[in-house]
Homo-oligomer: A and B are copies of this chain.
Amino acid sequence: MSTVDADPTSAEARGSAGPAGLGDEAYRTAVLDLLGLLAHGELTTFARLANDAEHAPDLAGRITLSRMAAGELSHLAVIEQFVTRLGGELEAVMLSYADVLGDFEARTVPRDWWERLMKTYVGYGLVTDFEREVSGRLDAQTHAIVEDVLADNGYADYVVSVLAPVIDAEPQLGSRLALWGRRVVGEALNLSQNAMVRHPSLARLLGGEDDAAEAAKVLNRLAGGHARRMGRLGLTA
């Protein structure tokens, strides 16, 4: 990987509306803010998967989810390294996201193992899609880091392999989980919007700050991603 000081992003490479380079202070500040979100997301996903693992009905599920949790956390070192290279400090950039979950957890308490799986599937999927939206608008170096962090951890495939047959066999459970998925995604979208309001630099990275149409497009794509995830389970979003 090249050094941070070099500007790896040319307008040619990423289009004339491409991002400023990391040499631009405002842009670098926004990137550090984004890295704080990513780091917080990894820590939260770690906690969620570890917690899910404790509730898994069998040893195989417990091992699988524990391993996925540990895999998520391994990204924290990559993020920390990049934050340090940009002159930031991991805890400092994470701190402003400490209360970002707000009452999301309180509003989405799963009643059983299936709702628990669905909640992580929907919430994790949406957050990943959100971060990937931002990732497409970054300089090449930061983009590479973010894509590395967002690499598929197999979680979605795992949930589909566990949930799809159960839903197929029990349509009533399917209806309940479809409703539940709608509730979780609604809360998660609220959460995303709150995060954007509290972190204008994220909105700016997404190009949505001055452009309501662009923000609407992003939300539409997030809703589309959710619909595809529900579709994989044979459910409508």
Contact = CB atoms under 8 A, between A and B. Distances in A.
Contacts of A74: 70
A223 interface: no
Nearest to A59: B91
A46 B70 contact: yes
A60 B98 CA distance: 12
B63 A67 contact: no
Interface residues of A, number: 23
Nearest to A73: B70
Contacts of A159: none
A66 B75 CA distance: 12
Interface stretch (A12-20, A49-57, A143-151): A49-57
Interface string A142-166: 0000000000000000000000000
Given A70-B69, A76-B67, A53 B59 contact: no
Contact of A46 (B59, B60, B66, B90): B66
**In the complex, which of the residues A53, A73, A90, A91 has the most CB atoms of chain B within 10 Å of its own CB atom?**
A73
Oligomer: number of copies: 2
A46 B62 CA distance: 11
Nearest to A74: B70
A70 B75 CA distance: 11
Contacts of A47: 50, 53-54, 66
Interface pairs A-B: 8 shortest CB-CB:
A50-B50, A70-B70, A70-B73, A47-B54, A59-B91, A46-B66, A66-B73, A60-B91
Given A43-B66, A66-B76, 16 more contacts: A43-B62, A46-B70, A47-B50, A47-B66, A50-B51, A51-B51, A60-B91, A63-B76, A63-B91, A66-B73, A67-B73, A67-B76, A69-B69, A69-B70, A69-B73, A70-B70
22 contacts: A43-B66, A46-B50, A46-B66, A46-B70, A47-B50, A47-B54, A47-B66, A50-B50, A50-B51, A51-B51, A51-B54, A59-B91, A59-B95, A59-B98, A60-B91, A63-B91, A63-B94, A66-B76, A67-B76, A69-B73, A70-B70, A70-B74
